Amino acid sequence: MIFDESRAKLRLQGSRDSSLDFTVAVRAYNSQENLPLILDKLRSQLGTDNISWEIVVVDNNSTDDTAKIVQEYQSNWCQSYPLRYYLEQKQGAIYARWRAIREARGQLIGFLDDDNFPDANWVSAAYYFGQSHPQAGVYGSQVHGQFEVAPPENFKRIQAFLAIKEHGSQPRLYNHKTLNLPAGAGMVIRKQVWLKNVPEQLILQGPVGKSLSGKGEDFEGMIHIGEAGWEIWYNPQMSIYHQIPSSRLEKDYLISLIRSAGLNVCTLRLTKVSNWQKPIIITRIILGNLRRIIRHWLQYRGQYKSDLVAACELEFFVSSLLSPFYYFKRS
């Protein structure tokens, strides 16, 4: 990824322009259906009287009426917190993420995708958690799924692949070394921590259009922050609802999504590790997934055509086994 000189200057300027408490950054792409609902949810937030905050919508080169909708809201916007709009013409999640970070004026930045509906107290819960946990460089929401159709039986075993994070009612630490991390949807970062520790040229570039091969860019960024000594938390008081259309429960989509996640395991596990550690980690990835494949096949053999969840689990183990080879091919 190449950024021009003006973008580099914007990044440096970002460290001087953070004057608000909190920024909600909404990443939008062809969002004319959901965006009004999200903006209405944000306009109805509770407990924010003592918080200086803003809403930033980053339009990732939409071809529908996303821009028009934001303009209509801006023309009737009477709230004390601003609603700002930016067009990011470079297609891809990573470009929209960086644009939001550069433009944000908040010390804390909370991210929502265009299919995430926040609870009425999401902003206040996000801000006050950051105040009470000063060592938290990143923290994630409790993410619930709202399904257009009923998910298959035992879907909870693979729901994390669709960014659903339900870890109970108590805050707890994540562990970046085992890739136990929050979803990018509903994630809150400290702007200065991200700018200082996360390189703009990440290996994983995130989804671009319908391609999922670069998915995992949020995890990669969080690993850099975790390796810098910052804590990564789960905050159940921040709840969002992830809209899951029926198309995302179809076998072809799920297999493609999970294959991409598996193939990127080695890339993520080798982020920020010393060269002498890499052979050890690669060996563990290969041997560990061989054991998982054998154990899984013995338990579910003959059921993979009828059991979608089992088929997805097997796909993840096989793809993770192959991830070192994918890593070397990419390198």
Same domain, 203 and 262: no
Distance from C-alpha of 286 to C-alpha of 272, rounded to nearest angstrom: 20
Domain boundary among 188, 214, 246: 246
Q: Considering only CA atoms, which of 197, 184, 214, 31 is closest in space to residue 111?
A: 184
pTM (two decimals): 0.91
The amino acid at 312: C
CATH, residue 240:
3.90.550.10
**Run of H or E residues at 147:** strand 136-147
Distance from C-alpha of 37 to C-alpha of 91, rounded to nearest angstrom: 24
Same domain, 222 and 288: no
- Tell me the β-bridge partners of 57: 26, 85
Stronger pLDDT, 284 or 93, i.e. the higher one: 284
Same domain, 38 and 136: yes
Same domain, 230 and 262: no
Digit-coded pLDDT (tens) for 232-284? 999 999 999 999 999 999 999 999 999 999 999 999 999 999 999 999 999 99
Angle 14-17-23 from CA coordinates, rounded to 5°: 85
The helix/strand/coil state of 121 is coil
* In the predicted structure, residue 214 carries a pLDDT above the cut 70: no
Q: Considering only CA atoms, which of 107, 108, 126 is closest in space to residue 116?
A: 126
Domain count within the chain: 2
Domain boundary among 194, 227, 246: 246
Same domain, 167 and 184: yes
Distance from C-alpha of 217 to C-alpha of 89, rounded to nearest angstrom: 19
Q: Which residue has the tokens 């860019």?
A: 217
Same domain, 260 and 308: yes
Same domain, 84 and 217: yes
Same domain, 11 and 154: yes
